[in-house]
Structure 1
Amino acid sequence: MSAVALPAFLLLMLLAVPIGYALLGASAAAVAVSERYDLVIVIQKFYSPSQNPLLLAIPFFILAGELLISGALGQRLIHFASLVVGRIRGALGQVSVVTSMLFAGVSGSAVADASALGSVLIPWQKKEGYPAAFASAVNSASSVIGVIIPPSIPLIIYASVAGTSVGALFLAGIIPGLLFGGASLAAVYLIARRQGFPRREHRTRPSELGRAGIDSLPALAMPVLILTAIISGAATPTEVSVIAVFYALIVRLCYRDLSLRDAVGAMINAGRATGAVLLLIMASSVLSWMITIDRVPDELTAMVTGMDLPRTAVIVFMNVLMLVVGTVIDMTPAILLLGPVLVPLAVAIDLDLVQLGVMMTLNLGIGLFTPPVGTTLYISSSIAGVRIEETVRALVPFYLFALLVLALVSYVPAFTLRF
């Protein structure tokens, strides 16, 4: 990256300039002071991501999630999750985690899950006597499951950068997503026991759980259908995303709870989210190109391999770098900036690029609930009406369990690679 672009980007970030505009400003500063970058090529690099057919899947997956989450099916999923955890201590916290795991197969977005679920589950927990900081912490951390379990929008973006298979990445994200969910459940249970949170007295009958499962089946089936279609080769990720929208529409029409106002609202929300993501992708692509032109990936790979470090130490270095970047840069631009840098290094140490994609998504996902730029952290704290510091203190056990899952994903390839 140009010696001008990085300081300019950091300065704009410190001035609280939105990340998309900070990326554009940094690129503009580099072009203004250096003849190394041809303005025509810069403009081409800015617009080229909009021509990538793979990225067309993003708005359709967002729209499918908006349609399913906002209807009666969303409430049925929450009810099903509450029955699954039953009488476990801290059950409402467990409901938040299980619901996030269920919604992860629908939305593919941590921010969408944090907003949609937090607005329902955080007030519910507060009403039942749970501390607001705890409710905020659970929602902040569990929402990240949405970017690991397929369909995952960050994994689609990584696939476009690394040239890997979306189907392989989706399949590789299942076990790490379940591990992250299980670790979050364990953290909730330990906190609930230590602080003496209430437990539900109502026992869930098998017949009641079965009925709730059947009611939720249309949403539970969606990720299975998506994976089956992509992995079997029956459809491309983009085609599957369009099918997912039609599937969501049919489900809502069958439940008879889709009004014209709901449909328009879902499209507007999806359009806004897509516009924000696309701006970040286009702005990041310019800096990614500058990084490549300046041979940063080659120099980093040569430096690290030249130090003759063991493979485990290189993986630690990669994880630390991704964790640090994830705390200060949003997920989409972080993937687009780190991808060109770390992919050559992964190839040099014989680290599978599918495994790297899951590692990157998990690292940057942890950044989503870590200050100073934790998106789900800010959303959840705002909904709960608590200060960021209070939520961060309550998040400490979640950080520890998340790092444990990260270590397993980084050093046990069987958790991510194809069978």
Structure 2
Amino acid sequence: MEYIPVLVLVLSFVALLAIGTPVAWSIAISSVLTMLVSIPALPAFTTVSQRMGTGLDSFALLAIPFFVLSGQLMNKGGIAHRLIAFAKTLVGSLPGGLALINVIGAMLMGAIAGSAMASASAMGSILGPEMEKEGYSKEFGAAVNITSSTTGLIIPPSNVLIVYSLASGGVSIAALFLAGYIPGILTGLLLMIVASFWAKKKNYKRGERSSLRQVFKTFIDAVPSLFLLVVVIGGIVTGIFTATEASAIAVLYTMVLGFIYKEITFKNLPEILLESSITTAIVMLLIGASMTMSWVMSYENIPQDISSALLGVSDNPIIILLIINLLLLFVGIFMDMTPAVLIFTPIFLPVVTKLGMDPVQFGIIMVLNLCIGLCTPPVGSVLFVGVGVAKTTIQKVIKPLIPLFLAMIFALFLVTFFPELTLWLPRLFDL
């Protein structure tokens, strides 16, 4: 009898997704159906609606609309052009120089904007035509753009890490932000190595070597944008302000910067605010529905049952971690990142903590897993943005994507089995 709620939850959710129901509604409806197995209709509907409301009642979640807005302001405010110019002077003359520029630009843009889709859109529209002009294949450029755009979800500030903090019961956001730096940079470096080898194999054209004067000039131009990272992360780590307060400061800073660069005007603001509101509404609906499903699963003891089943498979931590990674990679293929974090953190976190893993390390592992899912069909949002911007098809992009996928999976392996890659910086700051 205890398996009936699990079957109802899984089968109804999969069936709703299969017929094209939006993810948030699929989560909410399957949660209601699961509750109806255990309690009468009126309490079931009341409980689910109440849980959707209380799931959003969190001070930490206020950071998300602010970071979304600051990302939109950066995307429209000319920051991407300056970051690309700086990256070009650093690596433009190396094999696959334009691909390497894309990776570095995406790491910087994603870290500042905190949005993989904003990064994919900005980098693809600016660098894509230039890469084609220099003889790079459209598909290779799209593959590099798609995979590198996800690094900004690991390198802070990251909305997904804030969501993980909420789902995990209060893991320090400052510790998670610091923990993301080395894995994010490591992933970017591995993508650069693969892209460079691919470009060398295809004999793509190199750029001209930049002088120290050009490097210095582009760096100075990019400093105001890069300084935002110092303000936001420095303020959070030193305790000057919380992540939510930092997000509001990021909005103010990027708005002023956009006006200084003369890329944003008062005429642009309504459109920027509207786009940010739409994105925020989508994210918040997903969070509310996902928090409901997490509660329903807890009510039905599903996380405890899965935890016991996993620990019953083997007492070898390596085997358990490999199974969890494979499950998360599979989940990432079919589910968007935010609901996946909220739903599966309560399931897997107790398992890994019993194995002795730090919750901070597991947060980075989970996000890195789901970043790979953003690049895979059928629901890979970054994949669709990257392919759309490049004006190509998913089928053509798959071949150059595969070696870049392998680079991301290797980074995931290193982060899983070498905890110091994640925990060194938080411990350095006693977080």
Q: TM-score range with shorter-chain normalisation?
A: over 0.9
Partner letter of residue 378 of structure 2?
P
The corresponding residue for 1:137 is: 143
* Match of residue 398 from structure 2: 392
Q: What is the CA-CA distance between 1:32 and the residue it aligns to?
A: 4.3
Counterpart code for 1:411? F
Is residue 2:173 matched to residue 1:169?
no
Map 1:19-168 to 2 at 5 A.
19-35=23-39, 38-162=44-168, 163-168=170-175
Q: How many angstroms apart in 1 are the aligned matches of 2:259 and 2:325?
A: 45
Q: Does 1:249 align with 2:255?
A: yes
Once the two structures are superposed, residues 109-157 of structure 1 have per-residue CA deviations (whole angstroms, 9 ceiling, x without a partner) of 1122112222222222223221111111011100101100000111010
- Read off the aligned partner of 2:179 and give its amino acid letter: A
8 Å Cα contact 2:98/2:131 also seen in 1: yes
Question: Which residue number in structure 2 is paired with residue 260 of structure 1?
Answer: 266
1:262-301 per-position Cα deviation (integer Å, ceiling 9, x unaligned)? 2222211211111111111111111111111111111122
- What's the offset of the Cα at 1:261? 2.2
How many Å separate the matches in 2 of 1:348 and 1:300?
A: 14
Return the letter of the residue paired with 2:289. Answer: A
The match for 1:237 is 243
Counterpart in 2 of 1:196?
Answer: 203
> For 1:164, what is the secondary structure of its paired residue?
coil
Deviations 1:291-342 (CA, angstroms, capped at 9, x unpaired): 1111111112222223442111111111111111001000001001111101
Within the alignment, does 1:228 sit opposite 2:234 as a pair? yes
Which one is further off, 340-349 or 33-42? 33-42
Look up the match of 2:186.
Answer: 179
Aligned equivalents of 1:13, 1:266: Cα separation in 2? 31
Q: Is the 8 A contact 1:54 1:156 kept in 2?
A: yes
Matched residue SS, 1:416: helix
SS at match of 2:392: coil
1: CA distance between counterparts of 2:25 and 2:44? 20
Q: Distance in 1 between matches of 2:402 and 2:63?
A: 35
What is aligned with 1:369? 375
Q: Is the 8 A contact 2:150 2:371 kept in 1?
A: yes
Of residues 94-103 and 83-92 in structure 1, the stretch that sits farther from structure 2 once superposed is 83-92
The one-letter code of the counterpart of 1:94 is: L
What is the aligned-residue identity percentage?
A: 35
Code of the aligned partner of 1:184 = L
Given that 2:77 and 2:257 are in contact with CA atoms closer than 8 Å, whether structure 1 keeps it comes out as no
* 2:286 matches 1:286: no
Deviates more, 1:106-115 or 1:361-370: 106-115
* Structure 2: gaps of 5 or more residues: none
Could you give the per-residue CA deviations for residues 351-393 of structure 1, whole angstroms, max 9, x where no partner exists? 1000000000000000000122211111111222222121111
Out of 170-179 and 385-394, give the one that drifted further: 385-394
Q: Which amino acid aligns with 2:162?
A: I
Aligned to 2:317: 311
Contact 1:377–1:391 (CA under 8 A) maintained in structure 2: no
Using the size of structure 1 for normalisation, the TM-score is: 0.96
The letter of the residue matching 1:208 is Q
State whether residues 2 and 290 of structure 1, in contact with CA within 8 Å, keep that contact through their aligned partners in structure 2.
no
1:346, CA displacement in angstroms? Answer: 1.6
Q: Which moved more, 1:116-125 or 1:325-334?
A: 116-125
Mapped partners of 2:25, 2:267: distance in 1: 32
Q: Does 1:7 align with 2:15?
A: no
C-alpha separation in 2, matches of 1:266 and 1:355: 35
- Higher deviation after alignment, 248-257 or 95-104: 248-257
Deviates more, 1:296-305 or 1:154-163: 296-305
Q: Can you give the 5+ residue segments of structure 1 that lack an aligned partner in the other structure?
A: none
Aligned residue in 1 for 2:349: 343
In the TM superposition, residue 33 of structure 1 has moved relative to its aligned partner by: 4.6
Write the letter of the residue equivalent to 1:212: T
Offset at 1:92? 1.3
Deviation at 1:164, TM superposition (A): 0.2
Match of 2:412 in 1: 406
Indicate which of 1, 19, 22 corresponds to 1:18: 22
The structure 1 segments of at least 4 consecutive aligned residues displaced by more than 3 Å after TM superposition are 31-34
Instruction: Find the aligned partners of 2:341 and 2:85 in 1 and give their Cα distance.
Output: 35
How far did 1:34 drift? Answer: 4.1
For residues 10-42 of structure 1, give each alpha carbon's deviation from its aligned partner in whole angstroms, at most 9, with x where no partner exists: 011111222112212222333445427633221
Distance in structure 2 (CA, Å) of the matches to 1:69 and 1:146:
14
* C-alpha distance after superposition, 1:382-415 (max 9, x if no partner): 2222221211111111111111100110011101
Which deviates more from structure 2 when the two are superposed, residues 119-128 or residues 72-81? Answer: 119-128
In 2, Cα distance between equivalents of 1:14 and 1:122: 33
How many residue pairs get aligned? The number is 418
Check whether the contact 2:80–2:123 (CA below 8 A) recurs between aligned residues.
no
In the alignment, which residue of structure 2 is the partner of 1:298? 304
